[in-house]
């Protein structure tokens, strides 16, 4: 039975992990007969967004690991405890937290800087040739992990695609229900809610991503 490491970035599309994407990912892993362990960085979020109004809450702080624990039902560990030798694959759901808390792409674009602890883990998986899946905006982090013109997608947003290319990736336009595979890097990406207009569309691409990642030997 394969075991998958899943890195979350908080709880909520605007400042953390996209909850539907995270749940679809975890469910798809189990439906494929695999198991998972969730991780997240133990640090404050970039900021806190009121998900009812879309406004930033001045002075509010939330911890990424604590918030991610909401999705993981408390079964989560600091990302520093994530070791490639303990897992068969790595998957990162999207949500703006991936571009705000796992790296600075949401603020810095082409000058994005990855969180050091998260980068170390993701690079360790890449160097160990473990298959990985990055969904939605999470390829903004994957660009810093892989570089080398590795093929990946965030859908078809021109500005975001240019940012990924500037970070060393090779963006490939992709419809919502499909995936992009870079066989050499053993990397799978899908647009998810970068393009999805409902949960069914998000599920179509994410389930393909999980199935493909787990099929890589």
Show which residues are catalytic.
136
d(CA 143, CA 105): 10
For 57, the token pair is 């809450």
- How far apart CA 111 and CA 123 sit, in angstroms, is 19
In which region does residue 192 sit, left (phi positive, over 0), alpha (psi from -120 to 50) or beta (all else)? left
DSSP string, the chain: --EEEEE---SSTTTS--HHHHHHHHHHHHHTT-EEEEEE--SB-S--B-TTT--B-TT---BHHHHHHHHTTT-EEEGGG--GGG-SEEEE--SHHHHHTSBSHHHHGGG--B-HHHHHHHHHHHHTT--EEEETTTHHHHHHHH-TT-EE---S-HHHHHHHHHTT-EE----TT--EEETTTTEEEE-GGGT-SSHHHHHHHHHHHHHHHHH--
Residue 154, CA atoms < 13 Å, CB-side half-sphere = 26
């Amino acid at each position: 039975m394969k075991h998958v490491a899943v890195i979350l970035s908080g709880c909520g599309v605007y400042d953390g992990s996209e909850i539907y994407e995270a749940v679809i990912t975890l469910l798809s892993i189990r439906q494929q007969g695999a198991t998972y362990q969730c991780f997240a960085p133990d640090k404050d979020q970039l900021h806190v967004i009121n998900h009812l109004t879309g406004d930033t809450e001045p002075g509010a702080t939330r911890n990424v690991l604590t918030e991610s624990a909401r999705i993981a039902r408390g079964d989560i560990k600091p990302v520093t405890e994530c070791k490639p030798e303990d897992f068969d694959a790595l998957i990162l759901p999207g949500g703006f937290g991936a571009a705000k808390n796992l790296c600075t792409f949401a603020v810095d674009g082409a000058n994005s800087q990855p969180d050091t602890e998260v980068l170390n883990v993701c690079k360790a998986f890449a160097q160990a040739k473990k298959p990985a899946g990055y969904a939605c905006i999470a390829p903004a982090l994957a660009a810093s992990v892989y570089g080398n013109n590795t093929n990946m997608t965030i859908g078809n947003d021109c500005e975001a695609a240019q940012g990924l290319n500037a970070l060393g990736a090779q963006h490939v336009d992709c419809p919502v229900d499909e995936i992009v595979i870079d066989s050499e890097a053993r990397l799978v990406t899908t647009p998810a809610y970068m393009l999805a207009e409902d949960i069914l569309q998000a599920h179509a691409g994410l389930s393909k991503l999980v199935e493909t990642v787990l099929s890589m030997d």
